[in-house]
Amino acid sequence: MVRLDIPPAVAAPPDATVTVALGDRTYDILIGCGLLARDAPWEGLPRARDAVIVSNETVAPLYAERLSQRLSAQFARVHSVVLPDGEAHKDWMTLNRIFDALLENGCDRKTVLFALGGGVIGDMTGFAAACYMRGVPFVQVPTTLLSQVDSSVGGKTAINHPLGKNMIGAFYQPQRVLCDLDTLRTLPGRELSAGLAEVIKYGPIADPAFLSWLEQHMDDLRSGDAIALQHAVRRSCEIKAQVVATDEREGGLRAILNFGHTFGHAIEAGLGFGVWLHGEAVAAGMVMASELSERLGMAPTGLTARLTRLLEAAGLPVRGPAGLSPQEYLAHMRVDKKAEAGDIRFVLIDGEGSAVLRPAPDGLVAQCIEAHTAPA
């Protein structure tokens, strides 16, 4: 008998759809395997002559050709702009390269931009779309876990200024978000872990059951199990979609999505941006923020220990870097976007699956930092 060498079937879950309900700016997030290999997910987008794929030097060689094939069924012309990779290039000069390409190719005001990459590409493409001819449609095609569960959803777009991260930007919603889980297969493990930090944050702020699910499925997520990844991306997007639909422009509630970020931004800024990945800094920051919530008698007792175990299982740091003093943290925190007139406000857990934005005494904040800093 001839034995055929057929690999075992890989479980691919059916596509899931999450809707971000924003009136006439409502859009869907489609989450599934092999979206870039199928035409249907790309149908029904705004009609235009031109589509422009914006990507970077790392992601374009992996996925731009496949995306271009899908789009050429609908658009007469498909252009591509390939930017340098990295947070250091999320600036005016690089943004201008998108405008150069649009103008050089005679792209009109119906042109649809496609952001193919992680959060850096998504934020820059979204901002370019908000500005070009006072606004053209754009589609998010996030290829990192962080961008699938956070940055591609909710319409925050921005570039950095030398004096501050994400300081120049706009709220501008995409037409659709297409999360192809297969793209996560090429993502370095460190980047996957960084994305898991943003997944984990949704548990303590909004969904105790999701926190328990993550505790049971962390190994599946880290090994790339498609069913587990789809559940994690879908639940994260559902929670973010609900928060954004309630408070699109961060009048209040939306700030809870920044759990751990006040401490995390201080770590990123204190070490110099790029030394720790954003998700890594947020991980250690969530431990500190949880400790602060517990010491204020707000969070359930034991949350900090529980979060620490889960973040460790996700391959993330749970202590701030040695050598960064509480005074340095506090100085960076005073220029955080959530600070008001220099008063620092923290996202604090105030019960199972619930968070609020509050100030806290500097002395207590310093104790929490010291309790969760690596020894020198």
Taking CB within 5 to 8 Å according to partner kind, which of ligand GLY, ligand NAD, none is near residue 304? none
Binding flag, residue 15, ligand GLY (CB under 6 A): no
Catalytic residue chosen out of the listed positions 238, 250, 280, 294: 250
Q: How far apart are CA 322 and CA 162, in angstroms?
A: 26
Rounded to 5 degrees, φ, ψ at 141 are -125, 75
Minimal CA–CA distance to 143: which of 223, 219, 71, 54? Answer: 54
Catalytic residue chosen out of the listed positions 240, 332, 345, 372: 240
Kindly tell me which of 74 and 80 has the beta carbon lying closer to ligand NAD: 80
Q: How far apart are CA 344 and CA 177, in angstroms?
A: 33
Note if 280 is an active site residue. Answer: no
Q: What 3-state DSSP class applies to 32?
A: strand
Taking CB within 5 to 8 Å according to partner kind, which of ligand GLY, ligand NAD, none is near residue 254? ligand GLY
- Shortest gap between Cβ of 138 and ligand NAD (angstroms)? 13
Note if 161 is an active site residue. Answer: no
Note if 176 is an active site residue. Answer: no
**Residue-wise over 164-182: b if at least 16 C-beta within 10 A, else e?**
ebeeebebbbbbbbbbbbb
Rounded to 5 degrees, φ, ψ at 249 are -100, 20
What mask, x for binding ligand GLY by CB under 6 A, covers residues 50 to 89? Answer: ----------------------------------------
Burial class (CB in 10 A: 0-12, 13-18, 19+), 61: exposed
Name the β-bridge partners of 117. 142
What mask, x for binding ligand NAD by CB under 6 A, covers residues 185 to 204? Answer: -xx---x--x----------
Note if 215 is an active site residue. Answer: no
- Shortest gap between Cβ of 21 and ligand NAD (angstroms)? 18
Q: How far apart are CA 140 and CA 116, in angstroms?
A: 7
Q: How far apart are CA 87 and CA 179, in angstroms?
A: 21
Kindly indicate which of the ranges 11-19, 57-65, 74-82, 92-100 contains the residues binding ligand NAD, using the contact rule CB under 6 A.
Answer: 57-65
- Shortest gap between Cβ of 160 and ligand GLY (angstroms)? 15
Q: How far apart are CA 157 and CA 254, in angstroms?
A: 15
| Contacting residue, 234, 254, 332, 345, with ligand GLY by CB under 6 A | 254
| Contacting residue, 28, 87, 91, 352, with ligand NAD by CB under 6 A | 87
Residue nearest to ligand NAD (CB): 119
What mask, x for binding ligand GLY by CB under 6 A, covers residues 151 to 180? Answer: ---x-x------------------------
Binding flag, residue 204, ligand GLY (CB under 6 A): no
Binding flag, residue 233, ligand GLY (CB under 6 A): no
Minimal CA–CA distance to 170: which of 159, 156, 160, 150? Answer: 156
**Pair of tokens at residue 287:** 């431990």
Note if 156 is an active site residue. Answer: yes
Q: How far apart are CA 112 and CA 138, in angstroms?
A: 5
Write the DSSP string, 93-154: HHHHHHHHHHHHTT--TT-EEEEEESHHHHHHHHHHHHHGGG---EEEEE-SHHIIIIITSS
Note if 254 is an active site residue. Answer: yes
Binding flag, residue 257, ligand GLY (CB under 6 A): yes
How many Cβ atoms sit within 10 Å of the Cβ of residue 127? 23
| Contacting residue, 67, 70, 111, 123, with ligand NAD by CB under 6 A | 123
Write the DSSP string, 193-226: HHHHHHHHHHHHHH-HHHHHHHHHHHHHHHTT-H
Note if 261 is an active site residue. Answer: yes
Note if 306 is an active site residue. Answer: no
- Shortest gap between Cβ of 259 and ligand NAD (angstroms)? 12
Catalytic residue chosen out of the listed positions 79, 89, 198, 268: 198
- The residues assigned a catalytic role are 134, 156, 198, 240, 250, 254, 258, 261, 265, 278
| Residues at the contact surface with ligand GLY, assessed by CB under 6 A | 150, 154, 156, 254, 257-258
| Residues at the contact surface with ligand NAD, assessed by CB under 6 A | 56, 58-59, 62, 85, 87, 90, 117-121, 123, 143-144, 146-147, 150-151, 154, 156, 166, 183, 186-187, 191, 194, 278
